[in-house]
Amino acid sequence: MLFAVVALSLVAFARAGETSLALGSPTYVAQGVFPTEAFASYYNVPTLTDEQPQPVITNVLTGKVFAAGLTDPKNIPVNDTSDPRTYPPALLSTDAAGPLVQNAFNQIVNIANLNNSGWGNNCSRCLAGLEVAKAVALVTPESIPTLAVNLCNYFKFSTTCQNTYGPLALGQVLAQVLAAADVAGYDGQNICNNFVSGFCPLPPPSPLNMTGYFAKPKPANAVAPPPSGQRARVLHISDFHLDARYATFAEANCTSSLCCRANNPNSHSLNQVLLPAPRYGWFTCDTPYDLALAALQAIPAVTGTEGSGFDFTIFTGDLVSHDPENELSQTYVEYTETVLYDLYKKYLGSGPIYAAIGNHDSYNQAEDAPALLGTQLGQANLSTQFSWNYDTLSTLWENNDWISSDVAAMAKAHYGAYSVARPDGLRIITINTDLWYKANYFNYINMTKSDPSGMLRFVADELQEAEDAGERAWIIGHVLSGWDGSNPLNNPTNLFYQIVDRYAPHVIAGIFFGHTHEDQFQIFYANNATNISAASAGAVAWIAPSITPLTNLNSGFRMYEIDAVTFDILDAHTWYTNISATASLDNQTAHGPKFVYEYSTRQAYGKSISWPASAPLNATWWHKVTEEFEQNPALIQQFTTYQGKTSVLSPNCTSAACVAAKICYMRSGSGPIGKTCTQGFGSVQ
């Protein structure tokens, strides 16, 4: 059956007079013994089936070997004291701050306990509490972790207050944000909306100021170039989330947080493992080494690239596992980045890999600060507190010959983002979407500005250079700019939407995201989507499925067939492995998981659409697909199946409300537009 699907796809293109790229085997069954050639040496015996391999890895910047204890699944290190803690300048020593902190705690508790009829409302009380906390941050910033933990415990915000907000976790981040943010105004309203149970209504987007973003008006003949008939292969992988601390046969049915960890049982059955973690992964866990290597070996086999490689690969972020804050560290992030980029180089062939930073590719997770913060708070090192990460990543990319030294220097200076003008006429522009991600605390400073970091001005300038040079461009990021609006912030993605409108469809040939772990897409329209139609559709963002099965998903990846001259996407092929079958593979070496062909995008969604076989799957085509969804709502269930990579745990989408909501998400490319859709149907997890 799978072979027939592939064959039909090839026949369709042959009838149109085109040459479709041949795929590889329709299925790939991984070997049952771990491929020991993946690494030079190991701390344990890598072929054991009752534990995950523990390779010996060397830090690319320091030349030092990462200690075995960093990833020891039986004794996971917590509260790393070697990581630098960065605070704004203090006016009062921490030792002398005790009475001030206690007084601030009492004031905030009193404000929170005031009766609504007596004083203010939830929003005004939240803002007043933030002002008290800001006063502490300005005088004795190193006391903020203590205040945050005490308030967290008092109001029962979390059961892990110390591990989340203490000085060895997010405490110093809170101190910086409170010291710099306008907590009584727009910044504070957003903080109280997002982090304090929606106490303030979400303020509307700020008026856009596009001054300086567009050097020239949009050309009158801004149309995409015609197809060339030449094809190339591009791999898209996302959200790998390697768990080097995965404990085979630990609890996969844990009570909270990341499962398949020796230190995370089911609280209702502390003395018995209810669901042993399978060797090749589970729905509540990140990617173990055994699944990671199986996927990387499967990719060349099923895509037909063995011995040749891809023309290039894009990776849309998230290398690191979903650890609790107190188990993360700068060293653990560096370890994971080193491991996976080396494995990509080894298994994915000779073509370059262009990568974007994910929200888990940082420490603290999701945190990236704009460079102006140091100037604002009067301490220069606050501007460079994440430079270690940009240095590590750019060095790895350059050492693997994926980018030049000039581009590596650009990445170091632009928050890990960069631009590459390829000799074939495609400009790759990567962006650090932590700078519009809702969970990044640093984004709650200067929120009335749509681009305080300058990242989006960088994107606009690169697109203008591409237009002037007659190039086409791909934009690669991690956190999607729209869909249901639950992940991005309004102001920066509103600005991004206008930039896309200016340079689509004649320059922008594709936009690519990850983050959700799901197979999705979103369409950008002209004039801020005031007229949603096939004629006004300008660009589409492809949101890739994840390698990690977290949460309740199968593991998958995608390959694009693109026009080798225009760089438009002509088809997309997706593969997955059935995670529900992994438990049957334990304690045996006959074979590993099976990766199977899931679907061709063109075949799955284009059957009822009048569309030339040589035409790309552009925004107009995708809008017509959404019109088909409106006419035949049953097709949304097919989309939902693919959204979860054919997971047995994905819910159905058969109600009128679900169908309408998903079509709305598909037509939203920014946070403000996504938030206008009915919420609650954005994910299958």
Distance CA(430)–CA(426), nearest Å, equals 13
* Burial of residue 555 (number of CB atoms within 10 Å: 0-12, 13-18, 19+): buried
How does pLDDT run across 466-491, given as a tens digit for each residue? 999 999 999 999 999 999 999 999 99
pLDDT at 55 over 90: yes
**Domain 2-32+214-628 = CATH 3.60.21.10:** yes
**pLDDT band with cut points at 50, 70 and 90 for residue 120:** low
How does pLDDT run across 17-28, given as a tens digit for each residue? 345 788 998 899
- Phi and psi at 584, nearest 5°, equal -75, -5
How many residues comprise the chain? Answer: 685
Domain ranges for the chain: 2-32+214-628
Q: Is 239 annotated as a binding residue?
A: yes
Q: List, in order, residues 6 or more apart from 359 with CB less than 8 Å away.
A: 317, 318, 365, 366, 433, 434, 437, 439, 440, 478, 479, 515
How does pLDDT run across 401-417, given as a tens digit for each residue? 999 999 999 999 999 99
Cα of 558 vs its chain's centroid, Å: 16
Mean pLDDT of 74-82: 95
How does pLDDT run across 493-542, given as a tens digit for each residue? 999 999 999 999 999 999 999 999 999 999 999 999 999 999 999 999 99
Q: Is 478 annotated as a binding residue?
A: yes
Q: Is 515 annotated as a binding residue?
A: yes
Residue 508, SS3 per DSSP: strand
**pLDDT band with cut points at 50, 70 and 90 for residue 5:** very low
How does pLDDT run across 101-113, given as a tens digit for each residue? 999 999 999 998 8
Q: List, in order, residues 6 or more apart from 629 with CB less than 8 Å away.
A: 635, 636, 639, 659, 662, 663, 666
**pLDDT band with cut points at 50, 70 and 90 for residue 11:** very low
Q: Is 241 annotated as a binding residue?
A: yes
- Phi and psi at 151, nearest 5°, equal -65, -40
How does pLDDT run across 548-575, given as a tens digit for each residue? 999 999 999 999 999 999 999 999 999 9
Q: Is 187 annotated as a binding residue?
A: no
Which DSSP state fits 675? T
- What's the pLDDT at 218? 97
Q: Is 359 annotated as a binding residue?
A: yes
* Burial track 499-524 (b if 16+ CB lie within 10 A, e otherwise): bbbbbbbbbbbbbbbbbbbbbbbbbb
